[in-house]
Amino acid sequence: MVRSAALALGCVLACGGSSFETADAGSGNTGPGAPAADAGTPDAGVAALTGISLSQTDIRIPKGARTAFAVTASYNDGSHADVSEQCHVSISNGEIATLQQGPGAQVQVFARDEGSAVITVTYGQFTQTANLTVTDH
């Protein structure tokens, strides 16, 4: 399913690549399919979300190419889950690239035009970013 660049709910990439960052405390975002404890409220017997990571955080691709990255959630019991399909993703400049989520458990990036943009991924109360550079070649 193609999601609009305006979506910004929450994603976690599998393959870990960057450190965890906390989103604005008042956002209250929870991704579809996320465990009940994702909003940060501990629930007996349910692991609490402790962060998210992206498999790529510095993406460089040529115009017309595509790449993908995974979003992984980490929980306080030491477990991890691929949440690439449940997270919210957005891009700062839709003229540079488009994003698509769907089967295959990765976020697809399609390079449209030369330039730079920031991809923002949110899942639960956590947000991560990836820098995207699209080159002429």
**Does the pLDDT at position 17 exceed 50?**
no
pTM, full prediction: 0.68
Of 24-38, 69-83, 84-98, 106-120, the poorest mean pLDDT is in: 24-38
Q: Are 118 and 104 in contact (CB under 8 A)?
A: no
**Does the pLDDT at position 14 exceed 90?**
no
When the pLDDT of each residue in the chain is averaged and rounded to a whole number, the result is 76
**How distant is the alpha carbon of residue 73 from its chain centre?**
10
pLDDT digits (tens, 9 = 90+) for 23-62: 333 333 334 344 434 444 555 578 899 999 999 999 999 9
Classify strands 80-82 and 88-91 as parallel, antiparallel or unpaired.
unpaired
**Does the pLDDT at position 90 exceed 80?**
yes
**Does the pLDDT at position 11 exceed 80?**
no
Higher model confidence: residue 27 or residue 128?
128
What lies within 8 Å, CB to CB, of 10 at 6+ separation is 29, 30, 31, 34, 38, 52, 83, 86, 87, 88, 121, 122, 123, 124, 126, 127
What domains lie within the chain, and their CATH numbers? 36-135 (2.60.40.1080)
pLDDT > 70: percent of the chain: 66
- pLDDT value for 46: 83
Classify strands 106-111 and 80-82 as parallel, antiparallel or unpaired.
unpaired
Using the structure block, give the residue that is written with the tokens 């979003």.
71
